[in-house]
């Protein structure tokens, strides 16, 4: 079967680190073009400044992966759907839930495939954790998600602007795992957001969650963007059955009572593209808003704390 031709819109760090290399080795997809306001291309493929230029010049391309910052995602996805394209969206999907709801309805009205990726969900250790928690119940959860903004978003001022999510940009990855593995709905009870004095989005976030469960499990999360000793991407669980589970390294390693049960290489983006191919084969959309809803609720309920100014 011939590979599907796909264009990548937005050639920032995540596209360069993940999307383009994964497409290069994919059995299902072949890069057709890129859209980049900076004129960044890949492997000599055509480069366009705007999606409209791409659609006019290469109308035969019917798939796009939109990897821009979330602030312009709603506009770009609507343009792609209007142009008859099936669409993959990077995370976070949009800056507001209302925008995402609109895209879901609009894609359905046009009979187009819309796929919202939550890459951290696509690990074998995450699936195994979900199965264990479904069988053994949840007594407590602690999320610790710490990394360096200077490493992962070097010089990207948009992350500090309204709608840029701040430390909740990586934190939403943890929440995507959290919402996938939990055997019951979770809600934000309270949150504390720490903002640099010169920025509009938080650098540190603490969240307390609640649920409707009778046994009232204790659940909390901490996100920090100034961790310079290396990434700390862990979620620790205690089960009602008495076991300790720990998802480490962004969801690629699972320990049960300190014994490694699952340890697999990170192939999140490979699995995302496999899932997109499956959705296209079945002409089916896949969009889940739960992680975005938790972030929105954390902002709604957030107590603000001011911190030292941040400088790159």
* Residue 4: alpha-carbon gap to chain centroid: 24
d(CA 50, CA 168): 28
d(CA 62, CA 7): 9
d(CA 53, CA 61): 12
Q: Find out whether 223 and 294 touch, Cβ atoms under 8 Å.
A: no
Residue 5 annotated in active site: no
Annotated catalytic residue within 91, 139, 180, 246: 91
Q: Find out whether 170 and 152 touch, Cβ atoms under 8 Å.
A: yes
d(CA 75, CA 94): 10
Q: Find out whether 188 and 207 touch, Cβ atoms under 8 Å.
A: yes
Question: Nearest Cα to 71, choosing from 99, 47, 49?
Answer: 99
Residue 63, classed as helix, strand or coil, is strand
H/E stretch holding 56:
helix 51-57
d(CA 199, CA 80): 32
Distances (CA, A) of 105 to 63, 67, 114, 233, 285: 19, 21, 10, 34, 11
Residues labelled as active-site residues:
91
């Amino acid at each position: 079967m011939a590979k599907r031709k796909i264009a990548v819109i937005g050639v920032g760090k995540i596209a360069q680190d993940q999307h383009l290399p994964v497409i290069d080795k994919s059995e299902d997809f072949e890069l057709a073009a890129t859209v980049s306001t900076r004129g960044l291309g890949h492997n000599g493929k055509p480069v366009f400044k705007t999606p409209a230029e791409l659609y006019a010049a290469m109308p035969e391309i019917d798939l796009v992966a939109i990897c821009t910052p979330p602030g312009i995602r709603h506009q770009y996805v609507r343009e792609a759907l209007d142009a008859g394209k099936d669409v993959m969206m990077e995370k976070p999907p949009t800056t507001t839930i209302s925008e995402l709801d609109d895209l879901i309805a609009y894609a359905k009205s046009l009979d187009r495939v819309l796929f919202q990726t939550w890459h951290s969900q696509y690990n074998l250790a995450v699936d195994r954790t979900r199965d264990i928690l479904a069988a053994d119940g949840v007594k407590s959860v602690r999320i610790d998600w710490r990394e360096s903004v200077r490493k992962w978003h070097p010089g990207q001022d948009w992350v500090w602007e309204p709608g840029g999510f701040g430390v909740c940009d990586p934190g939403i990855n943890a929440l995507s795992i959290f919402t996938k593995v939990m055997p019951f709905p979770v809600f934000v009870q309270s949150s504390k957001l720490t903002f640099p004095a010169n920025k509009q989005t938080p650098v540190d976030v603490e969240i307390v969650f609640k649920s409707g469960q009778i046994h009232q499990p204790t659940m909390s999360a901490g996100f920090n963007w100034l961790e310079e000793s290396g990434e700390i991407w862990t979620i620790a669980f205690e089960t009602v059955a008495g076991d300790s589970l720990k998802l480490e390294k962004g969801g690629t390693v699972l320990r049960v009572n300190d014994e490694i049960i699952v340890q697999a290489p990170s192939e999140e983006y490979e699995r995302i593209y496999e899932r997109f191919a499956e959705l296209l084969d079945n002409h089916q959309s896949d969009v889940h808003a739960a992680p975005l809803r938790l972030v929105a609720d954390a902002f709604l309920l957030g107590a603000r704390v001011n911190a030292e100014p941040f400088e790159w």
